[in-house]
Homo-oligomer: A and B are copies of this chain.
Amino acid sequence: MLLCSATLSLSAQTENDLTRYVNPLAGTYKMGHTFPGATVPFGFVQLSPDTDTVGYELNGKYNGEVYRYCAGYQYDDPTIVGFSHTHFSGTGHSDLGDFLIMPTTGELKMNPGTDDKPGSGYRSRFSHSTEKAEPAYYSVMLDDYGIKAELTATTRVGIHKYTFPKAGQAHILLDLMSGIYNFPDKNVWTFLRVENDTLVTGYRQTNGWARTRTVYFAMSFSKPISHYGQKKYDQSVYKGFWRKFDETKDFPEMAGRQIRTWFDFDVKDGETVMVKFSLSPVSTTGAIKNLIAETPGWNFDAFRKKGQEAWNTELGKIKVETTTDEQKRIFYTALYHTFLSPVTFMDVDGMYRGLDQNDHQAKGFTNYTVFSLWDTYRALHPLFNIIQPKRNGDMAKSMMAHYDQSVQKMLPVWSHYGNENWCMIGYHSVPVLVDTYIKGNLDMDPKKLLDAMVKTATHSSYDGIGYYMSMGYVPEDKNGSSVSKTIEYAYDDWCIAEFAKKTGNQAVYEQFKARSENFKNVYDPAIGFMRPKLADGTWKKEFSTMSTHNQGFIEGNAWTYSLFVPHQVDRMIEMMGGPKIFIRHLDSLFTMKLDDSFFAETEDITRDGLIGNYVHGNEPGHHIPYLYNWAGAPKKTQERVRMIMETMYHDAPDGLCGNDDAGQMSAWYVLSALGFYPVCPGSDQYSIGSPMIKTAKLTLENGKTLEIEAVNQSSENIHVTKVTVNGINIRRNYLTHKELMEGGKIIFVMGK
């Protein structure tokens, strides 16, 4: 559990340097699916070592761990294949891993090889003892070659520094075949031009989780290429070629479905070669613009310093003191993980490729992509509404741009790189837009927003919405995961109703208020659980409250998912038999003893991500520990929340108990550590838990400062006995957004 103390930053020792509390390796072991590489906050380029992508396409066999390499890196792997420029952080499905670069020496190997056969390909063994991971900096020794690799980044440029041990010919490979979740035929087309002896441009087009995705690049070397070439692994040939050139070597235009390329350099003993690698969503012209704008010169340390300053600016928005150093590291690592995505998705001039596959210019906002909304509407975007309001407004505008470009006229479900991948369920753009708007962070015509939300929520051919609208629930025999869909639609509908009410549209308010009650239609009072209903109005007969498969839920069972009525918690409690029964129900959830079969079929989590039947390693339960507050048992909320913080988050590679899910898991920690959590985004309330910090100082974008103090906080004093906001005693279980944003001081008095 403490494998990585060596990864603490050694480069910056000042008090104000918060990067030294961040451990980018946390979550890289097992199910966290985070990456350890170099990136700036919300950077397009996230340059990180890949220890593999998906087993089967490299090894020629399917290894059964389809999602093992969602972020390209697994801590227990012995080799590094190379360093690629795009990564998801913490997702459960995957894509990206574009433009893998690997420096080598000696015999030129163009195949990555396998990790069980050292020397079988260009990949290299490495040791964690030489590995250093900091915000905006990563370095490692590539043992097979004796090459020291260092990485840093700007928003749109990855910067590599390779120190070669001995004089001779150094190779730098650019593998255009490599990619994460790289099943056969994922590559659609790749194209590359050697513009001159230090500049290469091109693109990679894939058909993956994003159906039609192209990323463009410009690659600049710090010294001239001596020779270069390609190896082709497909049948595409230059049809009109006819002996005019040798296409394999020193021929400056390469194209095909599957190609790997190499660039050779004559180096001296200990010489470094740097690579600046910029990305663009629209063109190589754009990539060159980005390269020029963001990375003048060749001072690696200056780029690293600038990147780390950017991190200190963002991390410094919340300054905390904690009881232990480890708690501080966990806090800042979590905060770091919340600032990795969504990522900036436009050139320096605002150009980006939209969902319609046309190029657009973002006017008046920064365009972002990677919206894992089923996860992130819960706590990540609410966190941003406190500490990144400008960015969250721009994210909302990016979602609206997606809507404008959508041929379905739907807001994003799970979108990345100008594509909709339709992953998971619901229309959770809605709570993000509503939460952002009501919290004053979205400067946009409310009519346009409402129109987009209503069009999305009434798209009858989408995922059971037609049934939902006509029958009040999604029938399980017509559309799977029907209960999850019904109750999540109901919550989203409540958000629309709230928005309509606040912006004066009574008709829409009434329509969606009525829809928001639909959760009741899938509650079976006979068993006390939500339960899938069939089209004929009867309950599904074969039904297990424990199983997560084919029971009407998605990535959760009835125990967890039945508790999802965040907009009507009181009525849910009443429906379930009143507070007393409800508390007993929650207690059971947290204390059940489960056999191994339950773990085996539960997705995306590690075994220690369970507390009884409560699964913290996935999202459907994230609000549950806070529900005791509604049942008159806030102390139980405080206990559970504190227990989760103490047992589910660690300063270690396996420090996350499940997928970080684009920052949602970490956002849960950040907010809970501050003492509150948004059980129902779209409302202005934050349910009070048990603060983990001793003090926190939030520097808000509105110019105000919010101080939080947890008086007498300790591992024993986990109960909140009193809360004051600017000296006024708060006699309720929640804080309001206004109370946070007007600044001043919130004091939690803690006791046993």
Contact = CB atoms under 8 A, between A and B. Distances in A.
Interface in A383-434: 407-408, 414, 420-423
B252 A238 contact: no
A358 interface: yes
B244 A463 contact: yes
Contacts of A480: 243
A211 B193 contact: no
Contacts of A93: 240
Interface in A460-515: 461-463, 479-480
B185 A188 contact: no
Tell me if A's interface is mostly helix, strand, loop or mixed.
loop
A250 B408 CA distance: 11
B463 A285 contact: no
Contacts of A252: 407-408
A593 interface: no
A603 interface: no
Given A358-B283, A407-B253, A422-B244, A212 B185 contact: no
Contacts of A250: 461
A243 to B, nearest CB: 6
Interface residues of A, number: 52
A238 to B, nearest CB: 6
B423 A358 contact: no
Interface string A594-616: 00000000000000000000000
A700 B63 CA distance: 73
A385 to B, nearest CB: 27
B241 A422 contact: yes
A658 to B, nearest CB: 20
A191 interface: yes
A240 B191 contact: no
A510 B12 CA distance: 65
A194 interface: yes
Interface string A165-205: 00000000000000000000100110101110000010101
A684 interface: no
Contacts of A569: none
Interface in A245-288: 245, 250-253, 255-257, 283-285
A191 B418 CA distance: 14
A239 B208 contact: yes
A358 B284 contact: yes
A296 B448 CA distance: 30
A422 B238 contact: yes
A203 B357 contact: yes
A13 interface: no
A639 interface: no
A483 B250 CA distance: 26
A189 B191 contact: no
B244 A285 contact: no
A357 to B, nearest CB: 6
Contacts of A574: none
A212 B414 contact: no
A188 B191 contact: no
A420 B243 CA distance: 15
Contact of A285 (B207, B253, B358, B420): B358
A5 interface: no
A283 B242 CA distance: 32
A349 interface: no
A284 B407 contact: no
B189 A205 contact: yes
Contacts of A195: 407
Given A185-B236, A240-B421, A252-B407, 12 more contacts: A185-B235, A188-B257, A189-B189, A195-B407, A207-B255, A240-B414, A243-B479, A250-B461, A251-B461, A283-B357, A283-B359, A284-B357
8 contacts: A201-B356, A240-B421, A240-B422, A243-B480, A244-B463, A252-B407, A284-B356, A284-B357
Interface of A: 93, 185, 188-189, 191, 193-195, 201, 203, 205, 207-209, 211-212, 235-236, 238-245, 250-253, 255-257, 283-285, 356-359, 407-408, 414, 420-423, 461-463, 479-480
3 nearest A-B residue pairs (beta carbon): A240-B421, A252-B407, A244-B463
